[in-house]
Amino acid sequence: MRGNGPEAPAARTEITEAEIAAHWKEESLLPPPPEFVSQANMRDPAARERFSRERFPDCFREYADLLRWDRPFERVLASDRAPFYRWFVGGRLNASTNCIDRHLPLHADKPAILFQPEPAEAPPVAISYRELHRRVNEMAALLRDHCRLVAGDRVTIHMPMVPELPITMLACARLGLVHSVVFGGFSGEAAGRRAADSGSRVLVTSDAFWRNGVLVDHFAQAEGAVVAAREGGQEIDTVLIWSREPGRSLSRTPELPGRDTRIDDLLGRYSGRTVEPVAMDSEAPLFLMYTSGTTGRPKGCQHSTGGYLSYVAGTSRAILDLRPEDVYWCMADIGWITGHSYIVYGPLALGAATVLYEGLPTFPDPGRPWRIAKQLGVGVFHTSPTAIRQLRRLGPEEPRKYGCRFRLLVTVGEPIEPEAWRWYYREVGGGRAVVVDTWWQTETGGILCATWPALDAMKPGSTGPGAPGIHPVVLDEHGQEIPAGEGRAGNICIPHPWPGLMQTIWGDPDRYVEQYFRKYNRDPASKDWRAWPYFAGDGALLAADGYVRILGRVDDVINVAGHRLGAKEIESACLMVPEVAEAAVVPVADELKGRVPVVFVALHHGVTEPPGEVARRVVLAVETAIGKIARPKAVHVVPDMPKTRSGKILRRVLAGISNGSDTGDTSTLANPEVVERIVAQLQSTRPATKEDGPQETEGTP
Ligand code: WT7
């Protein structure tokens, strides 16, 4: 089944993010503050030895030992079906027991979740481990007895940032159901397409949430989800709706009796019920997380129970330095992998208190995050470069006003400019906190590169060396390793498996092999992991000291504010507008969001619609198919696309024009004259549409 596999290389976007990446100079090293080192989880240099190459794969036992196993595993790694791996084989465990039940003897009254609603006057809500246990059990009883779901069934969850989201995830985990959380900022249609792909007949959603001072009617998205799922061949027979305020309906969208049910109306029946957690095989899937790739169809990265949970617990301990006494805040949205791994599963597996903030970091003003952090006593803070840039721009002096005392500051999702890094370090951390820049991906489950906070010096603008047990390499196009310090960019690869690596692409194992392993595989018949380096799709430079600098995507993926969007997905949404004959989407550098999509469309002959009107419809089509997050910064209606003689659109040229950089060689174009016309058009006119109103970060990755 190769039909849905990646396109031939020639069909790919010919501009890479790496080509437009910021090229700041290499910075010097800063040692971690001694106050941090003296208290860190992983401060013994012997850790390097324990996680050395020679210790692979047994080093990861240390991570698995952080969990409670219902049945101990017999083997650390089974690689006989490489590149499909099984970790901690023979072991059985339940993710919800590991995140909740086992903390009860010591920490029942300690907060597990600290929920901060967006409205400025709303106080934070603490949910203790005991209460989390009760609520997860009741929801699990509902899913089992009311929805008749059994281990292995998939459940699509399309929700905003409220405690009921992790409660639903953990209730699924308790029963061995495979959750598929779709980012709340995606449209209902996007959620429905993912529900169809995963084969979910149950959709869990919410009525409303607060964002930027506005009460958003989220349930309005549900109908679109059901319709899109049906078009994809999947009937959603049950829609469960959480109420933002119990007992009240904040959505004005009508409910469909028989299909739609308020969870509040049902929960009473399950009050006080406990549900025996299902002991799952280590390699049973825990969840799917859809992400964009080089084709128009998002892929469902399938993550395992034992390997994934071990990996996020281990990295939360080693890199985020978390312990049960911690109050930890990651500002990402749970609807992205960062939220799964480092708001929900990692921190809760370690018994920490994890903060959940409903709204926009800059609401009602850019001092909000620092007031929340101070009030809740946050010691470890985690966000994205986009949020850092925005908070710095809107409130450069704010952090100092509130007297926060962070010991560790984490960043993830995009390269961070040294300037933004220094503001984070000096103004947010007061020079007393360690800053960790973590590089990883939806597919990788957890952090792959970062400085080890107590053992490595920090280098602004670079992520670190490999995380414990991870030994990254940078390969050239021929698969040759580029030696450290040579200054040549290549493709970052991980030459060995690790427990957090996804198991496969849901329903499409060929695409898993094709996308991530084919490029550098020398022998397709080999069943040895050494033959299958993992290709991440990012360009990178390896410095002499072993630190990695990530340059950006080498494929059609556009990283907007640390969120992945596929150029092809946006293009196919544009083509839904009947007047549009051709569409090309390119990443354009943006001061705040890193990259934003810019759309070029050519119209069918004879279309008389004004370009501004077509552009408006294109924006609407993108918002409907994907969500506001993919909203193009500009839509240019052009007379024709620059094309090769064989008729392929040269996006490289369009990206060059949009970024004000070189368009590269245009001599091979079939229609070189069109380049000048487009350049002239972009110079003379303002874009047909521009993002109006304040820019939204749509959460951090
Ligand atoms: C892509 C993965 C990791 C969770 C959030 C995004 C880019 C991620 C960094 C970083 C430079 C980074 C890469 C990667 N990226 N972290 N620290 N420095 N680039 O997960 O949506 O799967 O996106 O984000 O390009 O491939 P994702």
pLDDT digit string (tens) for 681-698?
998 865 555 444 333 333
pLDDT of residue 696: 38
Q: 333 CB under 6 A from ligand 1? A: no
pLDDT of residue 24: 76
CA 328 to each of CA 112, 121, 355, 377: distance values in angstroms, whole numbers, following the listed order:
10, 22, 6, 9
CA distance 536 to 444: 9
Q: What is the mean pLDDT of residues 220-248?
A: 97
CA distance 105 to 538: 44
For 108-249, where are the alpha helices, taking DSSP H only? Answer: 129-141, 164-175, 188-198, 222-231
| CA 615 to ligand 1 centroid distance, Å | 30
Q: Confidence band (pLDDT; 50, 70, 90) for 254?
A: very high
Q: 338 CB under 6 A from ligand 1? A: yes
| CA 534 to ligand 1 centroid distance, Å | 15
| CA 565 to ligand 1 centroid distance, Å | 12
| CA 538 to ligand 1 centroid distance, Å | 9
pLDDT of residue 1: 32
CA distance 37 to 49: 18
Provide the angle, in degrees to the nearest 10, between the axes of the packed helices 188-198 and 611-625. 40
User: Are the CB atoms for 197 and 190 separated by under 8 Å?
Assistant: no
For the chain, the average pLDDT equals 93
Q: 234 CB under 6 A from ligand 1? A: no
* Residue of 288, 343, 417, 564 to mutate, ligand 1, most atoms within 8 A of C-beta: 564
For the ranges 124-128, 213-217, 517-521, 669-673, which has the lowest average pLDDT? 669-673
pLDDT of residue 458: 98
Q: 701 CB under 6 A from ligand 1? A: yes
Q: What is the mean pLDDT of residues 234-255?
A: 96
Phi/psi of residue 353, each to 5°? -100, 125
Say if residue 1 is exposed, middle or buried (CB neighbours under 10 Å; 0-12, 13-18, 19+).
Answer: exposed
| CA 555 to ligand 1 centroid distance, Å | 13
On the question of pLDDT at 167 being above 70, the answer is yes
Nearest CA to ligand 1 atom 6: 413
CA distance 701 to 596: 15
pLDDT of residue 18: 65
Q: Which of 314, 410, 300 is nearest to 701 (CA)?
A: 410
Which atom of ligand 1 sits closest to the CA of residue 17? 25
SS3 at position 136:
helix
Which atom of ligand 1 sits closest to the CA of residue 337? 4
Provide the residue type at 158 as one letter.
H
Contacts of 633 (CB under 8 A, 6+ apart): 588, 590, 596, 597, 598, 687, 690, 691
Q: Looking at per-residue confidence, does 298 or 278 come out higher?
A: 278
Q: Which of 431, 458, 422, 423 is nearest to 319 (CA)?
A: 458
Beta-strand relationship, 563-566 and 557-560: antiparallel
| CA 371 to ligand 1 centroid distance, Å | 28
Q: Confidence band (pLDDT; 50, 70, 90) for 296?
A: confident
Return the percentage of the chain with pLDDT > 70, whole number: 94
Contacts of 254 (CB under 8 A, 6+ apart): none
Return the percentage of the chain with pLDDT > 90, whole number: 86
For the ranges 25-29, 83-87, 271-275, 449-453, which has the lowest average pLDDT? 25-29
On the question of pLDDT at 359 being above 50, the answer is yes
Which atom of ligand 1 sits closest to the CA of residue 442? 22
SS3 at position 582:
strand
On the question of pLDDT at 642 being above 80, the answer is yes
| CA 536 to ligand 1 centroid distance, Å | 10
CA distance 327 to 430: 19
pLDDT of residue 6: 37
- Which helix (H) or strand (E) segment holds residue 583: the answer is strand 580-590
CA 119 to each of CA 2, 244, 689: distance values in angstroms, whole numbers, following the listed order:
49, 13, 31
On the question of pLDDT at 465 being above 80, the answer is yes
Phi/psi of residue 676, each to 5°? -65, -40
Q: How many helices (H) and strands (E) does the chain have?
A: 23, 30
On the question of pLDDT at 8 being above 70, the answer is no
Token reading at 109: 């009254």
Q: 335 CB under 6 A from ligand 1? A: no
Q: Which of 345, 263, 320, 334 is nearest to 436 (CA)?
A: 320
Nearest CA to ligand 1 atom 5: 413
pLDDT of residue 668: 80
Q: Confidence band (pLDDT; 50, 70, 90) for 14?
A: very low
Between vectors from CA 47 to CA 43 and to CA 50, what angle results, nearest 5°? Answer: 170
| CA 662 to ligand 1 centroid distance, Å | 26
On the question of pLDDT at 701 being above 50, the answer is no
Positive or negative, the CA dihedral 144, 148, 152, 154 is: negative
Provide the residue type at 139 as one letter.
M
For 531-672, where are the alpha helices, taking DSSP H only? Answer: 567-574, 611-625, 651-658
* Residue of 16, 559, 560, 565 to mutate, ligand 1, most atoms within 8 A of C-beta: 559
pLDDT of residue 700: 38
Beta-strand relationship, 408-412 and 380-383: parallel
| CA 412 to ligand 1 centroid distance, Å | 7
Q: 138 CB under 6 A from ligand 1? A: no
Q: Confidence band (pLDDT; 50, 70, 90) for 247?
A: confident
Nearest CA to ligand 1 atom 14: 441
Cα 695 off chain centre by: 20
Q: How many other CB atoms are found less than 10 A from the CB of residue 155?
A: 28
Positive or negative, the CA dihedral 498, 502, 505, 507 is: positive
CA distance 355 to 372: 10
On the question of pLDDT at 535 being above 90, the answer is yes
Nearest CA to ligand 1 atom 24: 413
Q: 439 CB under 6 A from ligand 1? A: yes
Contacts of 446 (CB under 8 A, 6+ apart): 308, 311, 312, 314, 315, 341, 346, 440, 467, 500
Q: 552 CB under 6 A from ligand 1? A: yes
* Residue of 439, 491, 556 to mutate, ligand 1, most atoms within 8 A of C-beta: 439
Q: 414 CB under 6 A from ligand 1? A: yes
Which residues on neighbouring strands pair with residue 180, listed in sequence order?
A: 156, 288
Q: What is the mean pLDDT of residues 97-110?
A: 98
| CA 245 to ligand 1 centroid distance, Å | 35
- Which helix (H) or strand (E) segment holds residue 388: the answer is helix 385-394
Over the Cα atoms of the chain, what is R_g?
A: 24
| CA 5 to ligand 1 centroid distance, Å | 22
* Residue of 320, 435, 550, 553 to mutate, ligand 1, most atoms within 8 A of C-beta: 550
On the question of pLDDT at 69 being above 80, the answer is yes
Q: Which of 388, 330, 337, 338 is nearest to 355 (CA)?
A: 330
Q: Count how many residues are written for the chain.
A: 701
Q: Which residues of 28-64 are buried (b: 16+ CB within 10 A; e: fewer)?
A: eebebbeebeeebbbbeeebeeebeeeebbebbebbb
pLDDT of residue 104: 98
Which atom of ligand 1 sits closest to the CA of residue 449? 17
pLDDT of residue 15: 57
| CA 287 to ligand 1 centroid distance, Å | 20
